[in-house]
Structure 1
Amino acid sequence: MAKVLCVLYDDPVDGHPTNYARDDLPTIPDYSDGQKLPSPKGIDFTPGHLLGSVSGELGVRPYLEGLGHELVVTSDKDGPDSVFERELADAEIVISQPFWPAYLTPERIAKAPNLKLAVTAGIGSDHVDLQAAIEGGVTVAEVTFCNSISVAEHVVMMILSQVRNYLPSHQIVLDGGWNIADAVSRSYDLEGMHVGTVAAGRIGLAVLRRLAPFDVHLHYTDRHRLPAELEAELGLTWHASTDEMVPHLDVVTINAPLHPETEGLFGDKLLGTMKRGAYLINTARAKIADRDAIVRALESGQLAGYAGDVWYPQPAPADHPWRTMPHHGMTPHISGSSLSAQARYAAGTREILESYFEGTPIRDEYLIVDGGALAGTGAHSYSTAK
Structure 2
Amino acid sequence: MEGEKPWALISEVGEQGYLEELSDILTQHFQIIGHRDFLRDPQLYGEKIQAMFVWDFKPAAEASLLSSLPSLKVVANGGVGIDHLDVPYISSLGVKVTNTPNVVDEATADIAMALLLASARKVVEGHQIATDPKTTHIMQCPMGEEVSGATLGIVGMGNIGYKIAQRSKGFDMRILYHNRSRRSVEDEQAVGASYCQKIDDLLKQSDFVVLAVNLTPETTGLISHRELSLMRSTATLVNISRGLVVEQDALVTALRSGKIRAAALDVTHPEPLPRDHPLLGLPNVLITPHVGTNTYTTTRKMMQKMVQNALAAVTGQPIPNEVKP
2:205 partner letter: H
Contact 1:197 1:252 in 2 (8 A): yes
1:171-201 Cα deviation digits (max 9, x unpaired): 10111424442412xx121122110111111
2:155 matches 1:198:
yes
How do 1:288-299 and structure 2 match up within 5 A? 288-299=245-256
Range with bigger deviation, 104-113 or 83-92: 83-92
TM-fit CA distance, 1:165? 1.4
Look up the match of 1:121: 78
> Structure 2 CA distance, aligned partners of 1:253 and 1:360?
38
Distance change in 2, residues 1:232/1:143 (3 Å):
same
Contact 2:157 2:177 in 1 (8 A): yes
1:11-38 Cα deviation digits (max 9, x unpaired): 28xxxxxxxxxxxxxxxxxxxxxxxxxx
Distance change in 2, residues 1:73/1:110 (3 Å):
closer
1:368 partner letter: V
How do 1:134-283 and structure 2 match up within 5 A? 134-176=91-133, 177=135, 178-184=137-143, 187-283=144-240
> Structure 1 CA distance, aligned partners of 2:24 and 2:210?
30
Look up the match of 1:341: 298
> Structure 2 CA distance, aligned partners of 1:208 and 1:286?
22
Contact 2:13 2:34 in 1 (8 A): no
> Structure 1 CA distance, aligned partners of 2:224 and 2:24?
37
> Structure 2 CA distance, aligned partners of 1:153 and 1:113?
41
Contact 2:206 2:235 in 1 (8 A): yes
> Structure 2 CA distance, aligned partners of 1:124 and 1:169?
34
2:53 partner letter: I
> Structure 2 CA distance, aligned partners of 1:106 and 1:304?
43
SS in 2 for 1:368: coil
> Structure 2 CA distance, aligned partners of 1:144 and 1:84?
34
2:295 partner letter: S
> Structure 2 CA distance, aligned partners of 1:89 and 1:347?
24
SS in 2 for 1:181: coil
> Structure 2 CA distance, aligned partners of 1:85 and 1:261?
41
TM-fit CA distance, 1:243? 3.1
2:26 matches 1:60:
yes
> Structure 2 CA distance, aligned partners of 1:268 and 1:224?
25
1:106-163 Cα deviation digits (max 9, x unpaired): 6665675554321112221111123433444432111111121001011111111111
> Structure 2 CA distance, aligned partners of 1:270 and 1:208?
22
Contact 1:104 1:128 in 2 (8 A): yes
Aligned length: 317
1:311 partner letter: T
TM superposition score normalised by structure 2: 0.86
TM superposition score normalised by structure 1: 0.74
Distance change in 2, residues 1:344/1:237 (3 Å):
same
Contact 1:298 1:326 in 2 (8 A): no
Contact 2:73 2:314 in 1 (8 A): no
2:323 matches 1:368:
yes
> Structure 2 CA distance, aligned partners of 1:101 and 1:282?
22
> Which 5+ residue runs of structure 2 have no aligned equivalent?
none
Match of 1:284 among 206, 226, 241: 241
Match of 1:5 among 3, 9, 12: 9
> Structure 2 CA distance, aligned partners of 1:135 and 1:357?
17
Contact 1:239 1:245 in 2 (8 A): yes
TM-fit CA distance, 1:330? 0.7
1:342 partner letter: T
1:126 partner letter: D
- Identical columns (%): 23
> Structure 2 CA distance, aligned partners of 1:54 and 1:85?
24
1:4 partner letter: A
